[in-house]
Amino acid sequence: MATIENKKTKQKLLIIGIIAAVFAVILLYSVIIAIFRAGKVGVEVKIAPFHAKVIANGIEIKNNGKIYLEPGNYHVEASCDHFDSFSGDFTISADQPYIGAVLVANDAEGEEFINGHQAQFAAAEGVVGKSLNAAGAAIQKKYPIIKHLPINNRFYSIGYSFDDPIKSEGLKINIKTDYEYLDVAIARLKNFEDVSLIDLDINFNITNAFANPKSSSSNNPETFIKDSFSGNGMTYISGQNLSDKYYLAVYSAYNKNTKLLNGKYLVLIEKSGESWKLASTPQPILTKANTPNVPDDILNTANSFTGQ
């Protein structure tokens, strides 16, 4: 009896040992996987046809599956017999976990393959669509203003462009109008509650009536302004102390047809010792791009004097 009991005990211990070893292997595998995937994004890759060879940043990756990549920019190339090669750039992030493309057949065999494997191409097209939607959402999140644009009417147009269209970097806002409707266009921008005007790089397609500023040594800010921009075709409207250090002057263009003042321009000057110096060129809106090294609160206060 003792021998039988000993055998049963040994069997139980063996089973427990095996189970413990299996769990240990699973745990070790999970730890290794977690370490390997740390900081990476699970990316859905579908480039049709699925037997195409896919290279991302010089390294071959699995097609038609999920892989893990570090967030960043990837140059992707794909090639397959009977199809034109593909080359494109993808930005991978938690919000954009997709690499998708559809190769174009270049002979009859390629066309025949497409006809017999339409599900592959439909799946790849689906990933392409998700990639485009995610990219659009990411761009709007980074640049909230673009969901309001473009705006086109007979008075003004407001659009946008990128310094680098492929990576959607270096946003520029382009405003085309004349002096008569300049304030209306700016007021439209100021109505976008989710947009910070001072963070924009704005190009105005308007003839700048300001001549080069003249020199002035006056320690009176209003005199300094008037001396600097006398005879430039613009009309001085008012001046305002924004702080002990900054003074704002508001100018307007004179419309020869209506005989009215239209389109305000802002000029910011900065205290320099006992005198003043120009902190900005005349601008319809003061931003970090055209008026650097000026505090945000000063720029925001200055912009409250323009637009309708």
Chain segment 176-192, per-residue pLDDT in tens: 988 778 888 999 998 88
CA dihedral 60, 65, 66, 69 (to 10 degrees): 20
Question: What are the two backbone dihedrals, phi and then psi, of residue 87, each rounded to the nearest 5 degrees?
Answer: -145, 125
Domain annotation for the chain: domains and CATH numbers: 41-142 (2.60.40), 151-303 (no CATH)
The residues near 137 (Cβ < 8 Å, ≥ 6 apart) are: 95
Q: Strand, coil or helix: what is 229? A: coil
Q: Strand, coil or helix: what is 52? A: coil
Write the CA distances from 258 to 84, 237, 261, integer angstroms.
Answer: 61, 18, 8
Confidence bin at 267 (pLDDT 50/70/90)? very high
The single residue listed with the structure tokens 């070790």 is 28
Kindly list the strands in the beta sheet with 151-152, ordered across the sheet, starting from the edge strand earlier in the chain: 151-152, 157-164, 169-176, 202-205
Q: What predicted TM-score, i.e. pTM, was given to this entire model? A: 0.64
Q: What is the pLDDT of residues 211-257, one digit of tens each?
A: 678 888 888 999 998 888 877 777 888 999 999 999 999 988 766 56
Q: What is the pLDDT of residues 51-65, one digit of tens each?
A: 999 999 999 999 999
Q: What tokens appear for 147 in the block?
A: 């969901």
Nearest partner of 75 among 95, 52, 58, judged by Cα = 58
How many Å apart are CA 176 and CA 185, to the nearest integer? 9
Query: Rg (Cα) of the chain, in Å, rounded?
Result: 32
Confidence bin at 263 (pLDDT 50/70/90)? confident
CA 41 from centroid of its chain's CA atoms: 20
Write the CA distances from 25 to 7, 13, 14, 21, 46, integer angstroms.
Answer: 27, 18, 16, 6, 32
